[in-house]
């Protein structure tokens, strides 16, 4: 479809009734910055396009591989080896030809952080689990620039959900990061803080050999589940329909167990129970510290 034949109002008319016409027009001028276009980020991107969001900043330096096919919406036999950011931008424009997309093909970096975030009404963290330095930078810069960051992690058949607003508990405080911690300790704290009730551990098999290669188990359904939470809450925040579900609140929703836990870590990872979990995780995985330090970025 050529852009001159595309009607925004017609394309998103089925949204009306759930959203008002005024709210839909607000989304048309809304800008969302998405860091990472893999399993979560790609689905978030196209979902928001279909919801009528009109402007995006997208960052990813990677190309598609065959192993992405189980969960990444842009991955197929015809896109292996192609730039994720280029493929996803093309898919988005085929859905909504009039959208504005600014591409950051080097990924999210210190050198482009302000440009990436400056126009954003909301930010999505879809950075790879093992890329801690980029993730920390995203939250630090977003906090400085008073941007809200939404994040969901697919774990087994479940998804977690966190929202960091400029006024809520910060990323560093929630996960209890400190300068004295190395990347391994930070990754453990991150994993424990993501899912305090750890519903997924009831059925998942954790293979240390995969972990030390930087490979985490994942499945497509949990990415879709997480995207539904992220995109719905993002729309709520932009349109100010209700108060944001911000940290220290968290959710884990498990489709396999048909369970949802919703909690509030008032001390973040600094609470005694969370500290105990971190200690137990450290005792279990410390023998892999040296190997994992090589792959945590």
pLDDT score at 32: 99
**Residue 159, domain member (yes or no):** yes
pLDDT score at 198: 94
Number of structural domains the chain divides into? 1
Name 276's Cβ contacts closer than 8 Å, sequence gap at least 6.
Answer: none
pLDDT profile of the chain (297 residues), mean per 10: 72 96 98 97 98 98 95 95 97 97 98 98 97 97 98 97 98 96 95 96 87 86 98 98 96 98 96 96 91 90
**Residue 289, domain member (yes or no):** no
**Residue 288, domain member (yes or no):** no
pLDDT score at 1: 42
pLDDT score at 206: 83
pTM of the model: 0.95
Angle in degrees, CA 126, 232, 27, rounded to 5? 95
**Residue 82, domain member (yes or no):** yes
- Domain CATH code at residue 143: 3.40.50.720
For the record, the structure tokens of 4 come out as 């001159």
**Residue 210, domain member (yes or no):** no
DSSP assignments along 206-240, one per residue:
--HHHHTTT-----HHHHHHHHHHHHHHHHHHHHT
pLDDT score at 4: 56
**Residue 99, domain member (yes or no):** yes
pLDDT score at 213: 83
Range of the domain at 13: 3-180+216-267
**Residue 258, domain member (yes or no):** yes
**Residue 176, domain member (yes or no):** yes
pLDDT score at 2: 47
- According to DSSP, residue 83 is labeled B
């Amino acid at each position: 479809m050529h852009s001159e034949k595309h009607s925004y109002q017609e394309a998103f008319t089925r949204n009306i009734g759930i959203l008002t016409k005024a709210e839909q027009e607000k989304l048309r001028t809304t800008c969302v910055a998405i860091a990472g276009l893999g399993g979560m980020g790609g689905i978030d991107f196209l979902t928001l396009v279909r919801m009528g969001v009109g402007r995006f900043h997208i960052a990813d330096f990677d190309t598609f591989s065959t192993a992405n096919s189980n969960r990444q919406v842009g991955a197929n036999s015809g896109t292996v080896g192609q730039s994720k950011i280029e493929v996803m931008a093309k898919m988005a424009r085929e859905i909504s030809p009039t959208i504005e997309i600014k591409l950051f093909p080097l990924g999210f970096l210190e050198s482009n952080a302000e440009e990436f975030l400056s126009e954003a009404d909301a930010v999505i963290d879809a950075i790879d689990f093992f890329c801690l330095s980029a993730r920390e930078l995203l939250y630090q810069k977003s906090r400085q620039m008073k941007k809200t960051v939404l994040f969901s992690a697919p774990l087994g058949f479940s998804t977690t959900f966190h929202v960091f607003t400029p006024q809520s508990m910060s990323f560093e405080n929630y996960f209890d990061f400190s300068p004295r911690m190395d990347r391994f300790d930070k990754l453990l704290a991150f994993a424990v803080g993501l899912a305090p009730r750890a519903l997924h551990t009831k059925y998942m098999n954790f293979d240390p050999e995969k972990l030390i290669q930087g490979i985490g188990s994942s499945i497509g359904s949990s990415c879709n589940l997480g995207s539904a939470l992220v995109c719905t809450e993002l729309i709520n925040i932009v349109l100010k329909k209700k108060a944001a579900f911000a940290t220290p609140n968290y959710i884990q929703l498990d489709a396999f167990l048909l369970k949802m836990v919703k909690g509030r870590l008032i001390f973040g990872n600094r609470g005694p129970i969370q500290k105990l979990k971190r200690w137990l995780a450290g005792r279990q995985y410390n023998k892999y510290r040296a190997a994992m330090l090589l792959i945590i970025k």
